[in-house]
Amino acid sequence: MEKWYLMTAVVLIGLTVRWTVSLNSYSGAGKPPMFGDYEAQRHWQEITFNLPIKQWYFNSSDNNLQYWGLDYPPLTAYHSLLCAYVAEFINPDWIALHTSRGYESQAHKLFMRTTVLIADLLIYIPAVVLYCCCLKEISIKKRIAKVLCILLYPGLILIDYGHFQNIYNSVSLGFALWGVLGVCYDWDLLGSLAFCLAINYKQMELYHSLPFFCFLLGKCFKKGLKGKGFVLLIKLACTVVAAFLLCWMPFFTEREQTLQVLRRLFPVDRGLFEDKVANVWCSFSVFLKIKDILPHHIQIIISFCFTFLSLLPACIKLTLHPSPKGFKFTLVSCALSFFLFSFQVHEKSILLVSLPVCLVLSEIPFMSTWFLLVSTFSMLPLLLKDELLMPSVVTMMAFFIACATSFSIFEKTSEEELQLKSFSISVRKYFPCFTFLPRIILHLFLFSVITMVLLTLMTVTLDPPQRLPDLFSVLVCFVSCLNFLFFWVYFNIIIMWDSKNGRNPKKIN
Amino acid sequence: MAALRVATGAGNWFSALALGVTLLKCLLIPTYHSTDFEVHRNWLAITHSLPISQWYYEATSEWTLDYPPFFAWFEYALSHVAKYFDQEMLNVHNLNYSSSRTLLFQRFSVIFTDALFVYAVYECCKCIEGKKAGKELTEKPKFILSVLLLWNFGLLIVDHIHFQYNGFLSGLMLLSIARLFQKRHMEGAFLFAVLLHFKHIYLYVAPAYGIYLLRSYCFTANKPDGSIRWNSFSFVRLISLGLIVFLVSALSLGPFLALNQLPQVFSRLFPFKRGLCHAYWAPNFWALYSALDKVLSVIGLELKLLDPNKVPKASMTSGLVQQFQHTVLPSVTPLATLICTLIAILPSIFCLWFKPQGPRGFLRCLILCALSSFMFGWHVHEKAILLAVLPMSLLSVGKAGDASIFLILTTTGHYSLFPLLFTAPELPIKILLMLLFTIYSISSLKTLFRKEKPLFNWMETFYLLGLGPLEVFCEFVFPFTSWKLKYPFIPLLLTSVYCAVGITYAWFRLYVSVLSDPPVGKTKKQ
């Protein structure tokens, strides 16, 4: 590639921004007794290094599950073990059993930050670069611009390098991206393997699993279930089973082990939501405290039904008409459905929606940029708690400028470029005067941006009234949730009308 | 909405570049800052809380005011904003005070004053003709030049990590160069006079300004063969230039003259009591000289030619900024360095006088002045290399030969800044930024001049690639070896000697190219 140096420059910019953000504070810095997610990660290194594998997920005198017990799948634990070996080499105090609790030092922070950077450099960044290089339909310049925008996405940078998420998002998202890459370019086995690794790294990746499943199933159907399709299906099934077996090997020896890990991974006895999340349940509780009114099992059933119904149409569409483009959009809408309606959602889970949105950045630059800004904004209360205001604002502005200059987003707001052409045409059959959609969307964007700016300013400068100490964070969640609902509708419209559009030219042919 | 579109339109790459680097600077706020941070805080306090008569006498802190008066006034102006951030930083006795608000204010003061630099770069981009523009935006000389200047590695780490105000000072210099290119000589002269009274290090390049203005502005015509036409001298122009310089100097030094403090001011500005080399040797001729001395003394001791008792104990690399004696070679006095510098500058000045080549020739002479004084000056800081690197960027997009010299000079010069940042968290930043700038500058200039002969020969390529292993050795291997305690100075020594070779080479090549360039008359005939 002739422009490799620009690509290198772009990756280096991404890395520099990541490292500069990592100089800031992290979650729970100097806040005993529980500290924060940073301590959780360190604690897992301590546990995995000092205890035999059978005791990792069990409560014992050496492993108090109430204190940041391991609640992620085995791959995370292996990764922690690997980091622990390096830590042991540098300074054994960092992971000494019991005595290292709450260990904090400048050198240790540097070590932890470096582990994130290395994981990112090995898994996420190559996936992004490769994904964009493989895009055939856009020019080289646009591909480089896309890499820049994806690497500058502030949400991921701030959570991984600022907040220090208790799991390396870049690893799980990176694996998922490798999965998307594989599946989109017909290396199905590789794709499904990568995606299995993603799930085994972080169970939240299940948000993406249905589109993967539907897309691969659709592919099999397309090839004919009696011939090649069946072979592919068998191969896929074997890959998935083998990958899972490999990851879970040490835990499959006893039934109790497996069950305990599963119990740790899916803590259904926790509430419908924790803290402040920009999803429907949390926002709805402003009016009605569902959490207190409904019994626990009903909450689970309701949330399950809502999630299932909300993602059903997109998934069916994808199974019937599998296409890489439809796949990406379905990934967005499914992850968004999960985020909005499912049980026990974290505010950081929005990153799972953001990843596929990043992938469609060049298709619908305007809407993607908007969504990615809102998604970062929705984590504002969390970021403020970690004193990350400055890097948040700066990276958001940088991301916005990068998107605006490289995709000139404000010139791409016609119906065509919003991918709403076919939808508008169908609506116009009933309402001929339906031509104002792009204008409305543009105004909504302005309105949304102004609210975000105002809310940020208010949160930072004003003290909330004494009666409502959480006023601003609730408002942030509520506003973000409204935005997300709008996006959910938008993406579903694209999916539903896009496949129709895809069939039409064939009919003409 | 329309404003948004204009601000973010695809054509507006310049503002995107400028905004992008500004945001990067904001991200660098929490990084390490050197004692220069305290120096400038102290100056804020001095100018804010003391009367003018005390500015150059105050010595509570060891970091006394040693910049010319305009800079003091600049700090005075800043201090009136600073008081809204944190009143405490304006107290002279609050030594080493750095609250988070102080940090924020000081960092932002650098970022905001850089606006002048951005404007200067914008003006410079307008006045370079460069090679014929390619189709692609990223291959246009203007684009490349603005990246090279705006995203300059040296400025980023010296100003925004190490902490100094080089950005707006370089902005003033670039702006005055741009004005000379635009034939607005009076403005250029005015800006340079102002700049001199901000930071006197720019005296190094003053000869270029003086001769150029005299030769190409005061003399209004040339003979056909390019030599001077004596009767075309314009007294009006000379007097107006003189008046400008005089007025600016009067404004700056007048108050101190009135207070009868001029000798004190000058003794602060030119502290010859400091040593030949800075704590860390700037990669110049004296670094090579001292290294040679060191080698000779070691050899002498080995061969028993030297008496061990006569060898002075205070070695140059022990980190003290004091006088010191060379062992074998003759010791260097300030006067000797001054003479060397003058001798080094003279040929370029002659060149500027006898074969004037318009603003481009001036620019080359200016760079040679800056480089020569960097090579031979007394107590040179490694940061002074920026004085040559920034104007050299302007030349680099014009000719392949200049591009090649620029790349060698910049890469080695920037690498020699590495020891400024020695803390672990900044290590990845400096490496990443250096890689970013170096890879971009080399590749983009190669693309720009791809139709001409390769920019580097094998020797230069080998030398530049050698910087990689050097860095690996100094930062990653050496700290784990047993020499670390015995010879802690080895990485610094290696760095400065290695870089001195490259910078000397670049200086030499630039000199050769300037001296061997045919005069204007002949090039026109060709």
pLDDT digits (tens, 9 = 90+) for A307-340: 999 989 999 999 988 888 899 999 999 999 999 9
Q: Do B16 and A405 touch (CB under 8 A)?
A: yes
* Residue (of A125, A119, A220, A131) closest to A167 by Cα position: A119
Tell me the CB-side half-sphere exposure of residue A488, using CA atoms within 13 A: 21
Tell me the C-alpha to C-alpha distance, in Å, between residue B81 and each of B22, B50, B78, B89.
Answer: 20, 17, 5, 12
Cβ of B1 within 8 Å of Cβ of A446? The answer is yes
User: Which residue from B minimizes the CA distance to A24?
Assistant: B30
Q: Are A467 and A279 in contact (CB under 8 A)?
A: no
Q: What percent of chain A is modeled with pLDDT above 70?
A: 97
- pLDDT 10s digit of each residue in chain B, 526 long? 444 444 444 458 899 999 999 999 999 999 999 889 999 999 999 999 999 888 888 888 888 888 999 999 999 999 999 989 988 888 888 888 888 899 999 999 999 999 999 999 999 988 876 556 566 778 888 899 999 999 999 999 999 999 999 999 999 999 999 999 998 999 999 999 999 999 988 998 999 999 999 888 888 877 777 777 777 888 899 999 999 999 999 999 999 999 888 888 888 888 766 666 666 678 889 888 888 888 888 888 888 777 766 665 545 444 444 445 677 778 788 888 889 999 999 999 988 888 888 888 899 999 999 999 999 988 888 889 999 999 999 999 888 889 999 999 999 999 999 988 888 899 999 999 999 999 999 999 998 888 888 889 999 999 999 999 999 998 888 888 888 877 777 888 889 899 999 999 999 999 999 888 765 544 443 3
pLDDT class of A505 with cuts at 50, 70, 90 = very low
Nearest CA in chain B to A394: B23
Does the N-terminal peptide bond of residue A33 adopt cis geometry, omega within 30 degrees of 0? Answer: yes
Which of B19, B27, B434 is best to mutate for the A interface (most A CBs within 10 A)? B27
User: How many residues does this entry show for chain A?
Assistant: 509
Give the amino acid at A47.
I
Closest C-alpha to B387, from B86, B221, B177: B177
Residue A348 token pair: 């950081």
Number of inter-chain CB pairs under 8 A, A vs B: 90
Task: Please count the other Cβ atoms lying within 10 Å of the Cβ belonging to residue A32.
Answer: 10
* Residue of A12, A20, A442 lying closest to B27 (CB–CB): A20
A5 touches chain B (CB under 8 A): yes
Q: Which residue of A has its CA nearest to B429?
A: A16
* A105 lies within 8 A of chain B by CB: no
Rounded CA-CA distance A146/A161 in Å is: 21
Query: Which pLDDT belongs to residue B219?
Result: 85
| pTM for this prediction | 0.92
Residue in A258, A245, A122 with CA at minimum distance from that of residue A193: A245
Within 8 A of A447 by CB-CB distance, chain B residues are none
* Contact: A405, B13; criterion CB under 8 Å: yes
B480 exposure class (CB count in 10 Å sphere: 0-12, 13-18, 19+):
exposed
Contact A398/B23, CB-based, under 8 Å?
A: yes
A319: three-class secondary structure by DSSP: helix
Residue of A nearest to B32 (CA): A23
Tell me if B432 and A12 make a contact (CB, 8 A cut-off).
yes
Of B331 and A175, the one with more pLDDT: A175
CA B504 to chain centre: 16
For A293-326, give one letter per residue: b (16+ CB within 10 A) or e: eeeeeebbebbeebbeebbeebbebbbebbbebb
pLDDT for res A291 = 76
Q: What angle do CA A379, A383, A389 make, to 5 degrees?
A: 120
Cross-chain residue pair B29–A395, CB shorter than 8 Å: no
Q: Say if residues A432 and A170 touch (Cβ distance below 8 Å).
A: no
Question: What residues does B222 pair with on adjacent strands?
Answer: B228
Residue B186 is predicted with a pLDDT of 92
Question: Measured between beta carbons, which residues in chain A are less than 8 angstroms from residue B19?
Answer: 397, 401
According to the model, what pLDDT value does residue B522 have? Answer: 43
Restricting to A residues 135-194, those with a Cβ less than 8 Å away from any Cβ of B are 141
pLDDT of residue B408: 95
**CB spacing of A20 vs B435 below 8 angstroms:** no
From the CB of residue B488, how many other CB atoms can be counted at a distance below 10 Å? 14
CB contact under 8 Å between A395 and B27, yes or no, is yes
Is A475:A455 a contact under the CB 8 Å cutoff? yes
**Closest by Cβ to A21, choosing from B4, B27, B428:** B27
- Whether A5 and B444 lie within 8 Å, measured CB to CB: yes
Using alpha carbons, select from A313, A343, A302 the residue that is nearest to residue A498: A313
Nearest to B27 among A8, A141, A391 (CB): A391
Q: Among all residues of chain B, which has the CA nearest to that of A442?
A: B1
Query: Nearest-CA residue of chain B relative to A411?
Result: B5
* Residue A497 clears pLDDT 90, i.e. is over it: no
Closest Cα in chain A, distance from residue B434 (Å): 10
Give backbone dihedrals phi and psi of A345, rounded to 5 degrees, phi first. Answer: -105, 140
A4: nearest CA partner in chain B: B443
Q: Which tokens belong to B118? A: 């951005």
Report the 10 Å Cβ neighbour count for B94. 19
Best B1, B5, B8, B143 member to test A by mutation, with max A CBs in 10 Å, is B8
Tell me what percent of the residues of chain A surpass a pLDDT of 90: 47
Give the pLDDT band (50/70/90) at residue A507: very low
Give me the residue from A6, A16, A404 closest to B433, CB to CB. A16
Collect all residues of chain A within an 8 Å Cβ-Cβ radius of residue B134.
none
Partner B contacted by A398 (CB < 8 A): yes
pLDDT, residue B440, reads: 94
Instruction: Specify the long-range contacts of residues A267-275, CB closer than 8 Å, at least 24 apart.
Output: A267/A71, A267/A344, A268/A300, A268/A343, A268/A344, A269/A296, A270/A344, A271/A344, A272/A299, A272/A303, A272/A343, A272/A344, A273/A344, A273/A345, A274/A344, A274/A346, A275/A346, A275/A347
**CB–CB of B176/B193 below 8 Å?**
no
Contact residues, chain B, for A3 at CB < 8 Å: 138
Contacts of A8 in chain B (CB under 8 A): 439
How many C-beta atoms lie closer than 10 Å to residue B451's C-beta? 7
Residue B277's pLDDT is: 65
pLDDT of residue B136: 78
CB contact under 8 A, A107 and B425: no
CA nearest B21 in A: which residue? A398
Which residues of chain B lie closer than 8 angstroms to A402, CB-CB?
16, 20
Rounded mean pLDDT of A180-204? 92
Q: Is A450 near chain B, with CB under 8 Å? A: no
The secondary structure element, H or E, covering residue A175 is helix A169-184
**Maximum distance among all Cα pairs of chain B, rounded to whole angstroms:** 81
Q: A398 vs B20: CB contact, 8 Å cut-off? A: yes
CB contact under 8 A, A12 and B435: yes
> Of B5, B16, B424, which is closest to A401 when you measure between CB atoms?
B16
Angstrom distance (rounded) from CA B411 to CA B414:
5
Range 405-434 of A in CB contact (< 8 A) with B: 405-406, 408-411
Gap between the Cα atoms of B298 and B306, Å rounded = 9
Which chain A residues are within 8 Å of B8, Cβ to Cβ? 401, 404-405, 408-410
Structure tokens at A433: 């005067």
**Contact of A466 with A445, CB cutoff 8 Å:** no
Q: Which candidate, A480, A208, A241, A477, places its Cα nearest to that of A333?
A: A208
Q: What is the pLDDT of residues A247-272, one digit of tens each?
A: 988 888 888 888 888 888 887 777 77
Angle between helices B490-516 and B285-302 in degrees, nearest 10: 130
Distance CA B128, CA B131 (A): 9
Question: What integer pLDDT is reported at residue B274 of this predicted model?
Answer: 65
Contact B19 A401 (CB under 8 A): yes
Residue B329 phi, psi (nearest 5): -75, 160
Please indicate whether, in this complex, the C-beta atoms of A20 and B440 are within 8 angstroms of each other: no
Tell me if chain B has a CB within 8 Å of the CB of A404. Answer: yes
**Distance from C-alpha of B158 to C-alpha of B413, rounded to nearest angstrom:** 12
pLDDT at A466: 87
Which residue in B64, B20, B66 sits closest to B45, CA to CA? B64
What distance in Å separates residue A6's CA from the closest CA in chain B? 7
